[in-house]
A and B are shown apart, each in its own frame.
Chain A
Amino acid sequence: MAEVGIRGVRKTYAGGFEAIKGIDCAVGDGEFLVMLGPSGCGKSTLLRMVAGLETISAGEVSIGGRVVNDLEPKDRDIAMVFQNYALYPHMTVYDNMAYGLKIRGMSKADIESRVHKASDILELRPFLDRRPRQLSGGQRQRVAMGRAIVREPKVFLFDEPLSNLDAKLRTQMRVEINRLQDRLGITSLYVTHDQVEAMTLADRMMVMNGGVAEQIGTPMEVYHRPASTFVAGFIGSPAMNFLPARLTASGVELNGGHAVPLPAGSGGASAAREITLGIRPEHLTLESGQGIGDIAVKVELIEALGADTVVHARLTSSGDPLLARLPGSARVSNGDTLHFAITPGEVHLFDRQTGRRL
Chain B
Amino acid sequence: MSRRVVFPNRVLPYLLLAPQVAITLVFFFWPAFQAVRQSLYRDDPFGFSSRFVGLANFELVLSDPNYINSLKVTVIFSLSVAVLALVAALLLAVMADRVVRGKRIYQTLLIWPYAVAPAIAGMLWLFLFSPAMGTLAVMLRDTGYDWNPLLNGDQAMAMVVGAAAWKQISYNFLFFLAGLQAIPKSLIEAAAIDGAGPAKRFWTIVFPLLSPTSFFLLVVNTVYAFFDTFGIIHAVTGGGPARATETLVYKVYNDGFVNLNLGASSAQSVILMAIVITLTVIQFKYVERRVHYA
Contacts and interface: CB of A to CB of B under 8 A. Distances in A.
Contacts of B197: 74
B238 to A, nearest CB: 46
A187 to B, nearest CB: 16
Interface in B8-29: none
A168 interface: no
B204 A86 contact: no
Interface stretch (A27-35, A76-84, A247-255): A76-84
Interface stretch (B57-65, B68-76, B182-190): B182-190
Interface in A115-164: 133, 147, 151
A268 interface: no
A181 B239 CA distance: 71
Nearest to A131: B292
B89 interface: no
- Which residue among B186, B187, B190 has the maximum number of chain A CB atoms within 10 Å of its CB? B190
Contacts of B191: 88, 99
Interface residues of A, number: 23
Given A84-B184, A86-B189, A133-B294, A74 B208 contact: no
A78 B193 contact: yes
Contact of A74 (B184, B193, B292): B193
B196 A89 contact: no
A104 interface: yes
Interface in A83-108: 83-84, 86, 88-90, 99-100, 103-104
Contact of A86 (B184, B196, B208, B211): B184
Interface string B228-256: 00000000000000000000000000000
Given A84-B184, A86-B187, A79 B195 contact: no
Contacts of B193: 51-53, 73-74, 78-80, 100
B40 to A, nearest CB: 48
B294 A72 contact: no
B195 A100 contact: yes
A80 B208 CA distance: 22
Contacts of B190: 80, 82, 86, 88, 147
Contacts of A90: 208-209, 211, 292, 294
10 pairs of A and B residues whose beta carbons are closest in the complex: A100-B194, A90-B292, A86-B186, A86-B190, A74-B195, A89-B294, A103-B195, A82-B186, A90-B208, A73-B193
16 contacts: A51-B193, A53-B193, A72-B192, A73-B192, A74-B197, A80-B193, A84-B184, A88-B187, A88-B191, A90-B208, A90-B209, A90-B292, A99-B204, A103-B194, A103-B196, A147-B194
